[in-house]
C-alpha cells in the first residue's frame, strides 16, 4: 500500500503547543523516528499543504548550516525584540 494512503488521516499521537511554541514529541513518534535528545527534526510541507516530520540527516544539517549564514541581515537586537514572542 502506498505510504500516502497508509498514513492519510491516521492519528497515532497528539501533543499540545505551549505559549512559547514548544511541543513534546510523544514517545511513540520519537521511537518510530529514532529520535534522541539533541537530534534535529525537519518539517516538510507538501504542495497539498500537509506537513511531514522526519529526523534530520547529515546532509539536511549541512544545508541548514549554510542557510544560517545567509540570514545574518535579520540578526539584530531590534529584530530579536520584534520577533521574540513568535
Tens-digit pLDDT profile for residues 28-82 = 999 999 999 989 898 989 999 999 898 988 777 777 777 777 777 767 788 778 8
- Predicted pLDDT of residue 6: 47
Please give the average per-residue pLDDT across 18-27, as a whole number: 93
Is the domain spanning 14-83 CATH 2.10.260.10? The answer is yes
- What is the residue whose three cell numbers read 513518534? 29
61 within 8 A of 40, measured Cβ to Cβ: yes
Longest distance between any two alpha carbons in the chain, whole Å: 51
Q: pTM score, two decimals?
A: 0.55
Q: Where are the domains of the chain?
A: 14-83
Amino acid at each position: 500500500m502506498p505510504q500516502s494512503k497508509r498514513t492519510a488521516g491516521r492519528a497515532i499521537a497528539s501533543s499540545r503547543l505551549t505559549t512559547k511554541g514548544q511541543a513534546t514529541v510523544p514517545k511513540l513518534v520519537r521511537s518510530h523516528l529514532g529520535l534522541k535528545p539533541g537530534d534535529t527534526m525537519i518539517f516538510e510541507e507538501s504542495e497539498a499543504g500537509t506537513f511531514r516530520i522526519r529526523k534530520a540527516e547529515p546532509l539536511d544539517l549541512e544545508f541548514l548550516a549554510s542557510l544560517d549564514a545567509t540570514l545574518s541581515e535579520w540578526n539584530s537586537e531590534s529584530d530579536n525584540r520584534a520577533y521574540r514572542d513568535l
